[in-house]
Structure 1
Amino acid sequence: MRAEARDVRRRFAEGEPTAAERAVAFAAALPPAIVVAVYRAMGSELNPEPLIRALVSAGAEACLPVVLERDAPMIFRRWVPGDPLDADAAGCPAPLPLAEVVDPDLILTPLLAFDDYGGRLGQGGGFYDRTFAARPGVIRIGFGYSGQRVERLPMESHDVRLHGVLTEVGYTAARKV
């Protein structure tokens, strides 16, 4: 399932070069937040950089996830676009250790696929699910291409549902299961 979802996402990344910019038009529909956790796009993930700039311009503070231990929830460090980054324990770009650790109100997460019920298919490492489980009150929003939507994803006991998904065609709140 992941291999197929990666192929779909790659095709959308190649065929929808302005998708990230178009998603910004729907940022006002996101639940309100003061501190927003974003991510640095890797591979064919939808690049949240235009959204980050818009949220920061609107007064939000940004932070990035940091993996310190592979089997633990991530922490978040304050980040301003342009700040230096270094690879964390998972090899993802992350703020340097001297950056302040913060608690986000909203976590924007990349995904391979999503459904209308808050189901999210990630890369399989469990980093976001462990983090969501450790922070049950945080707002969880997927960020991806509209074409990554599937009818229904199988959910396991450790999977934590999203509150909604933002794509280049709009924001959709998750439906009740």
Structure 2
Amino acid sequence: MTDKAEIRASMRAQRKRLAGLDPMAASRLAEHVEALPPGDPVAVYRAIGSEIDMDALSLALARQGRDLCLPVVIQPDEAMIFRRWTPGEPLEPDAIGVPAPLPLAEVLSPALILTPMLAFDAAGGRLGQGGGYYDRTFAALPEALRIGVAYAGQQVEGLSLESHDVRLHGVLTEVGYMAVP
């Protein structure tokens, strides 16, 4: 398959299947929190659909004393901003309907961005949902470390990247952390 739309459809089905096979996978992310690179604040995300849930990992990061923030889409065609967030704080939909911290929350510039994805490869290639939100944000924050978060079964042989696609520095799955060389 070379068509990104076909690959996305296939990987959405794969991710949904993986989520159903191992309901405890998301809780095992927290077991690998010490393997993550240093950096503060850390951008986490609120899982949507079959994305691997970040609740246990977010709590583990907070217990480490790391400041957390969540992405917020203000304008769909621009880079996201990040607002400070602590697990349990109220959220409201951003411009595209994703749960985000309230507008009064402090805007932060994350040192480490944990990002959901549909697929990844060993070279740091990432296939997202197709909206370009994270790629635009990665380009706007080149100093931030980019870590993909997924089920191990979302790894593929190789992804064909376009000029605007930004590679990851590492990937965290339920089986561990893999730095990208």
Instruction: Give the TM-score of the pair, scaled to structure 1.
Output: 0.98
The AA in structure 2 aligned to 1:136 is P
Q: Which residue of 2 aligns with 1:117?
A: 123
Number of corresponding residues: 175
**1:36 and 2:36 are equivalent in the alignment:** no
Q: Which residue of 2 aligns with 1:104?
A: 110
| Structure 1 position 58, deviation (Å) | 0.7
SS at match of 1:72: coil
Query: How do 1:23-172 residues align onto structure 2 when only pairs under 5 Å count?
Result: 23-172=29-178
| Structure 1 position 112, deviation (Å) | 0.3
| Structure 1 position 23, deviation (Å) | 1.7
For 1:137 and 1:15, the matched residues in 2 are separated by 36
For 1:25 and 1:172, the matched residues in 2 are separated by 14
- RMSD, aligned α-carbons: 0.6
Instruction: Give the TM-score of the pair, scaled to structure 2.
Output: 0.95
Structure 1 residue runs of 5 or longer lacking an equivalent are: none
| Structure 1 position 25, deviation (Å) | 1.2
Greater shift in the superposed pair: 126-135 or 17-26: 17-26
For 2:103 and 2:175, the matched residues in 1 are separated by 36
The AA in structure 2 aligned to 1:151 is E
| Aligned residues with identical type, % of pairs | 62
Q: Extract structure 1 runs of 4+ deviating beyond 3 A.
A: none
SS at match of 1:130: helix
For 1:65 and 1:22, the matched residues in 2 are separated by 23
Structure 2 residue runs of 5 or longer lacking an equivalent are: 1-6
